[in-house]
Structures are given as C-alpha cells and as structure tokens.
Amino acid sequence: MDRANEPERDLERSAEVRNAAQTLDDVPLEEVAHLERLAVVGQLCAEMAHEISQPLTAIRMFADSALGKIKEPTAENLSQVEEALATIYVQAARLQQLTSRVHGVSCPSQQTRQPVAISDVLDNVLPLVEPLAERYGVEFELDVPQPSPRLVADRVQLEQVMLNLVRNAVEAVALQSPERRRVLIRVVPGDRSIAIDVVDRGEGIPESNLPHV
C-alpha cells in the first residue's frame, strides 16, 4: 500500500466533504452543519481506531489472565485478579471518555448557554484530533492562562467550532516542512470578551479566493 500520498488523499476527502455540504442549498442550515459535523467525526473515528484498539487489547489480555487465575483461587492469584480487574476498569473508562467525546461533538443539541472553561473544551477536542496530528507529525502548542478563562456559551457548539478550526489547522500544515507543522492555540482574555486564536503556518487562502470568503 502506498502511504506516501495518504496526506493528499485525506485532505482531498475532507475538501470533498465540505464541498458536498456546500451544495445542499435546499437543506436547512442547521441540518447541513450537522451532516458536515458527522462527516468530520466519521473521519476522526477512522483515525482514532488505533486509540480505541489499545484499551480493547489491554482489556482482553487482562480478562484472559484473570479468567486463568481465578480457576486456582490462591491468595496470590486472587490478588493478581484484583489488579487485572482494576486495569480493565481504567481502560474501560478510557474508552468511555473517547466515545463520549465523539458523541458529544457529533450530536445536535438544543442550545444551552452556561459558564464553560476553555481548558475543558480543549481537553475534549484535542484528543479527537491528536491521531491525525500524530500521523502528519503536527505538534500543538497551548497558550492558555491558568486558571482557565470561562465564558458563557453552548458547550457542544463551542466544541464543534473548535474541532473544525483545529482540524483545519492540522490539515493546513500537514504537507508543510517539519518545522512548520505546528498549531498554536492561544486564549487571550479581555475585559468583556475572550479571544481564542488557532494559528497555523499553512499557505493560507489564495488571493483569488479571498473575495468569496
């Protein structure tokens, strides 16, 4: 299998998804946005297959070990069974976190505005994009004040926006030289507002396309 052209193919698929969404003129905007999110999340799920397979492999391995040990219930074996069950619990919780993040970002929701910490949003979004970033050697740089600034917003919608911005930034630098494969996420609190900058060193939008943006 030729993996050399994988970045180009992945970026082409992403562009096709966005272009297809833009042609759905007769579909309500909210539904188009939801369909586009599902397409993006579908791609992310494929990229997260390795992240999911690791805890599943660990769960199976420790379950097999526990089943073998419990047949001879000595004190030592029971202690090892307890350790195996604890590991299974941790790995299952990790899987639950991954699936919850995907579910939260992909599902449409009624707007619920409440105080949201920016760091919590990033904690949910970045793990979804990290497999793609790791594949292309893209590094994240975070500049978030501590304690994290909070703003009143719909958390799900904010996470969806951040997911799109960060993924687009990763795609923008995926084919750049290694020293340019960095994405800066910077949070700048103001007196009555908060700026969230997602900065990449990609080529940017061609000047000929700027009037259409």
pLDDT tens sequence for the chain (213 residues): 455 555 555 555 555 545 544 554 555 555 555 556 666 666 666 666 666 777 788 888 889 888 888 888 889 888 988 988 988 888 888 787 777 766 666 665 556 788 999 999 998 888 888 878 888 899 999 999 999 999 998 887 788 788 889 988 998 999 899 999 999 999 999 888 899 999 998 887 767 766 666
Write the DSSP symbol of residue 179.
Answer: G
Rounded Cα–Cα distance for residues 74 and 7 (Å)? 53
Mention every residue, 6+ apart, whose C-beta is less than 8 A from residue 13. Answer: 43
Write the DSSP symbol of residue 175.
Answer: T
Q: Which fold has domain 6-47+109-212?
A: Heat Shock Protein 90 (3.30.565)
The counts of H helices and E strands in the chain are: 6, 5
